Amino acid sequence: MKSDDFNLSYFLPYQLAILSSRISKLLSKVYGDRYGLSIPEWRVLVHVARREKMSVREIHKCVNFEKPTVSRAVSKLEDTGLVAKTASVQDQRLVEIELTEAGFDVLKGITREARSFEENILGGFSEVDRHQLYVLMERLHDELDKHPEAANRPPMDIEARDDLLG
């Protein structure tokens, strides 16, 4: 039985999920083919680079993956020498993750290519269109922030908001 009451193709959460998946999979060719990183490893690497050191718990809050996925990504990055684990200065029971020199080198290469990827994706957009896209995404975040059950937005993204919107 077919329902004419609901068209999934017009449902915003579905459209955003498909768009996000398509972009992530295409971008993964940049860091996957050349550097051998998975999507979770890339996200961990780039988020750790945003701070000097991060705990697995802090990384988990930023990357939108389950804790076991984050732990596996951190372990693989450590095995390949891209991150190192150290005991926290504040609490020796906690482990902090930081990029190694090799990790910074890999990240530098990836981010150069990722920026080019982004430019290609947005190439058909004017500067006004790009700004409007970011404004609309921020408005969606604002609406989600009103819902107590919505996942929290990473603090680093909130801090970067003013730079993004100019």
Give yes or no: residues 105 and 77 share one domain: yes
Q: Give the pTM.
A: 0.81
Q: Are residues 64 and 46 in the same domain?
A: yes
Residue 146 lies in a domain: yes
Q: Are residues 150 and 132 in the same domain?
A: yes
Q: How far is CA 81 from CA 60, 98, 102, in A?
A: 20, 11, 7
The answer on 104 and 41 residing in a single domain is yes
Residues 34 and 81 in one domain: yes
- Number of domains into which the chain is organized: 2
Give the C-alpha separation, 147 to 143, whole Å: 7
Whole-angstrom distance, CA of residue 50 vs CA of residue 100 = 13
CA distances from 25 to 4, 21, 29, 39, 134 (A): 31, 6, 7, 8, 21
Q: If pLDDT is split at 50, 70 and 90, which confidence band does 130 have?
A: very high
> 25 falls in which pLDDT band (50, 70, 90)?
very high
Give pLDDT, residue 21: 93
pLDDT (tens digit per residue) in 72-100: 999 999 999 999 998 888 877 888 999 99
> Given this model, what pLDDT does residue 157 score?
80
Q: What percentage of the chain carries pLDDT values higher than 90? A: 64
Same domain? For 162 and 95 the reply is no
Indicate whether 137 and 165 sit together in one domain.
yes
Which pLDDT belongs to residue 46?
Answer: 92
Judge if 108 and 42 occupy the same domain. yes
Question: Does residue 8 form part of some domain?
Answer: no
In this structure, what CATH number is given to the domain that contains residue 79? 1.10.10.10
Inter-CA distances, 162 with 123, 125, 157, 159, Å: 23, 21, 10, 7
pLDDT value at position 1? 57
DSSP alpha helix (H) spans, 36-154: 39-50, 56-63, 67-79, 101-121, 127-145
pLDDT tens for each residue of 102-127: 999 999 999 999 999 999 999 999 99
Q: For residue 73, which of 108, 17, 31 has the smallest C-alpha distance?
A: 31
105 lies in the same domain as 130:
no
In this predicted model, what pLDDT tens digit does every residue of 46-58 receive, in sequence order?
Answer: 999 988 888 888 8
Kindly tell me if the per-residue pLDDT of 36 is higher than 90: yes
For 80, half-sphere exposure in the C-beta direction (CA atoms, 13 angstrom radius) is 19
Q: How is residue 151 annotated by DSSP?
A: P
Residue 103 lies in a domain: yes
Q: Answer yes or no: is 136 within a domain.
A: yes
In a domain, 15, yes or no: no
Over residues 57-71, mean pLDDT: 86
The residues, ordered by sequence, that sit 6+ positions from 123 with a Cβ below 8 Å of its Cβ are none
* Residue 90 confidence (pLDDT): 82
- Which burial class, exposed, middle or buried, applies to 112 when counting CB atoms under 10 A from its CB (0-12, 13-18, 19+)? exposed
**Which domain covers residue 153, as residue numbers?**
125-166
**pLDDT score for 63:** 81
Q: 90 and 106: one domain? A: yes
